[in-house]
Amino acid sequence: MNTTTGDAAGIAGDDAPPDSPRSGRGDAVGAALLAASAVWALVSAVGRPARPEGVLLAVLAVAAGFAAGRIGGALRPVAVPATAAVGAVALTLLLPGRLSRGPHTPPLGYVNADAALMVLATGAACCAAWAARPGPLRLGLRLLGALAALLALGLGSAAGFAASLGVLLCSLAADRTPRVVGLAGLALATVVAVGGTYAVAVDALPPGLSASLSGQLTPARVRLWHEALDIAGTSPLRGVGPGRFADVEDTGDTSDTDVTAGSGKPRSAPLQLAAEQGVPGVALLAASYAWILWALRRSPRTTPVVLTAAAALTGLAMQSAVDHVLSYAAVTAGAGLLAGLATSRPTRDGPPTGH
């Protein structure tokens, strides 16, 4: 394949990013959103025995991961994401309890957080594959992504395996998908996931479907979602304060070990922010995700890399809608790293095919 043909495939036609130097306005918007998230956590904690440290740590982890990804993606667009993927897989296999370090974590850690890390590892491996030259290295990197997906299944997380498999499939089709269409589809998937979580929490679904979903999600988890919305309804502006959900929730059925593993959290990032930081907290989370998609739309990286990273971040967003995976700094740092890698401007030319 000649270079011209490859470039057309890699950029997916008329959605090629501008060739002009990065203006910096997009980065400024992202920095402002992170700063606003940290400030709002402190504002919502004022006058309460709240614990905003978790939110501040998450913001710091995202910022550090993003900066590292931008630098690493510019200098070594293949080696850095490949190393990150290998490291995530190795950590999951070799360091039990590295994420939560609690009594509920054997043998590898909290299962769904580990699986979320595997989704990001799959995305990083596939991004490295698209940045590599066609051949054995590209194939090996894709096999690494498949290994991460299988590891998510081995951990016992069907949702994590499904998300990782979705990343693999999206990556394979990314060179034939226009960038705007792909990003719009992923955004819609996130909206459906979050909207579905809300619909289950308010019993807005038909009885048969609601009973089926509640059974799969576990009644104890759905009860926590109900409780989070009730709390948000009483304090819609500032919530009850970061880290205070456990202090004000109505303790009920704690027989579900999956729920007790994350006691003190409503098992959904949007609903936790609604309960603890009010509507502004949820709005800042939504704006941050929208900014990531916007930054990916304008990224100088090729479309396959961009859509692969977007698929992995969307998979994480969908998991966070039904679980508290964003409570782990390793996961938020990994998300920032992948976003940084996919929005970097490599200093070296890509492979001859344009991918």
- pLDDT tens for 74-133 read 999 999 999 999 999 988 777 655 554 444 443 445 788 889 999 999 999 999 999 999
**What is the tens place of the pLDDT at every residue in 19-78?**
444 557 889 999 999 999 999 999 999 999 999 999 999 999 999 999 999 999 999 999
pLDDT of residue 96: 58
Is the residue at 43 inside a domain?
Answer: no
pLDDT of residue 250: 63
Count of structural domains within the chain: 1
pLDDT of residue 194: 96
pLDDT of residue 60: 97
Q: Band of the pLDDT at 270, cuts 50, 70, 90?
A: very high
> Helix 329-342 and helix 303-322: axis angle, to 10°?
160
Is the residue at 7 inside a domain?
Answer: no
pLDDT of residue 257: 47
Distances (CA, A) of 81 to 68, 141, 142, 177, 342: 11, 10, 12, 22, 10
Task: Write the DSSP assignment of 189-253 as a string of letters.
Answer: HHHHHHHHHHHHHTT-S-HHHHHHHHHHH-HHHHHHHHHHHHHHHHSTTTTT-TT-HHHHS----
d(CA 186, CA 182): 6
d(CA 14, CA 115): 36
**189 exposure class (CB count in 10 Å sphere: 0-12, 13-18, 19+):** middle
Tokens of 156: 């016992």
Is the residue at 44 inside a domain?
Answer: no
Is the pLDDT score of 351 beyond 60? Answer: no
Residues 6+ apart with CB under 8 A from 253: 219, 220, 223
Is the pLDDT score of 204 beyond 70? Answer: yes
d(CA 26, CA 293): 11
Is the residue at 46 inside a domain?
Answer: no
Is the residue at 289 inside a domain?
Answer: yes
93 vs 251, which has greater pLDDT? Answer: 93
**What is the tens place of the pLDDT at every residue in 207-245?**
888 888 888 888 999 999 999 999 999 999 999 999 999
Is the residue at 260 inside a domain?
Answer: yes
Is the residue at 58 inside a domain?
Answer: yes
Query: Quick one: DSSP state of residue 326?
Result: G
Contact 186, 192 (CB under 8 A): no
- Look at residues 171, 215, 213 and name the one whose alpha carbon lies nearest to residue 315: 171
Is the residue at 112 inside a domain?
Answer: yes
Q: Which of 153-167, 246-260, 265-279 has the lowest mean pLDDT?
A: 246-260
Residue 78 lies in domain: 52-342
**What is the tens place of the pLDDT at every residue in 292-347?**
999 999 999 999 999 999 999 999 999 999 999 999 999 999 999 999 999 999 88
Give the dihedral of Cα atoms 124, 130, 135, 140; nearest 10 deg. 10
- Look at residues 322, 311, 197, 213 and name the one whose alpha carbon lies nearest to residue 269: 322
